[in-house]
């Protein structure tokens, strides 16, 4: 399984890197979102679901934008708080470090739909345990400001975080900032 995951990540990197800057505008990106995190365990537990907050920060370092599409390779940091108390029990929070690829398609001048997939390494905050996970995110993004060298989007991401013992569903709100180091026609 590890070999297939590594193969998929390398394939995504190659596809993204092979996109020519001539086919669109190259950009760098930064984004942040705050989400409600509902973790549903795959085992019998005294807490039926974990209710937490999640904060995600992403840096896109290899992005291209065409007339009605975009794609970007990005690294993300993710932090999930301890769960709300359930009696005397609280599920522990964790931090994540991962890589993902995002693609979007413009529906109109102000609205586009995005989908993102990635993998993370997660670290519990209170104990020394590391675990891997996969995440999928999708939703609309609304262009709220634009200049010759930047764009700012308001996002409404819905995501699924897949772990061995828990599946988490998230809904949130965020902001994406794209900066274009080269204008069209620059060499």
Q: How does pLDDT run across 18-74, given as a tens digit for each residue?
A: 444 444 689 999 999 999 999 998 887 777 788 999 999 999 999 999 999 999 999
With beta carbons less than 8 A apart as the criterion, state whether 65 and 24 touch.
yes
| Residue 5: per-residue pLDDT | 61
With beta carbons less than 8 A apart as the criterion, state whether 32 and 57 touch.
yes
With beta carbons less than 8 A apart as the criterion, state whether 154 and 146 touch.
no
pLDDT band at residue 8 using 50, 70 and 90 as cut-offs? low
pLDDT band at residue 4 using 50, 70 and 90 as cut-offs? low
pLDDT at 158 over 90: yes
Domain segments of the chain as ranges: 2-179
Candidates 45, 53, 72, 57; CA nearest to 179 is: 72
Residue scoring higher pLDDT (127 or 23)? 127
CB atoms within 10 A of CB 111: 12
Angle at 103 (CA atoms; ends 59, 172), nearest 5 degrees: 65
Q: How does pLDDT run across 33-45, given as a tens digit for each residue?
A: 999 999 998 887 7
- 3: helix, strand or coil: helix
- Give the integer Cα–Cα distance in Å for 183 and 83: 46
Q: 156: which DSSP letter?
A: -
The domain 2-179 is classified under which CATH number: 3.40.640.10, 1.10.10.350, 3.40.50.720, 2.40.160.20? 2.40.160.20
pLDDT band at residue 165 using 50, 70 and 90 as cut-offs? confident
When computed from its CA atoms, the radius of gyration of the chain, rounded to whole angstroms, is: 18
Predicted TM-score of the model (pTM): 0.82
| Residue 187: per-residue pLDDT | 43
Q: What is the distance in angstroms between the CA of the first residue and the CA of the last residue of the chain? A: 43
| Residue 21: per-residue pLDDT | 42
| Residue 87: per-residue pLDDT | 74
């Amino acid at each position: 399984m590890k070999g297939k995951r590594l193969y998929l990540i390398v394939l995504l990197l190659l596809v993204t890197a092979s996109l020519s800057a001539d086919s669109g505008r190259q950009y760098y990106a930064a984004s942040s979102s705050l989400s409600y995190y509902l973790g549903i365990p795959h085992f019998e537990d005294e807490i039926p679901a974990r209710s937490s907050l999640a904060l995600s920060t992403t840096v896109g370092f290899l992005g291209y934008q065409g007339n009605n599409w975009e794609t970007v390779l990005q690294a993300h940091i993710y932090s999930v708080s301890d769960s709300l108390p359930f009696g005397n029990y609280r599920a522990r929070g964790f931090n994540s470090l991962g890589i993902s690829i995002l693609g979007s398609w413009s529906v109109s001048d102000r609205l586009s739909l995005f989908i993102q997939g990635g993998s993370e390494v997660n670290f519990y905050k209170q104990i020394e345990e590391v675990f891997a996970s996969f995440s999928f995110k999708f939703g609309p993004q609304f262009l709220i400001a634009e200049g010759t060298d930047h764009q700012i989007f308001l996002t409404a991401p819905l995501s699924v975080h897949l772990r061995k013992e828990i599946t988490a569903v998230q809904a949130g709100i965020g902001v994406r900032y794209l900066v274009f180091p080269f204008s069209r026609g620059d060499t």
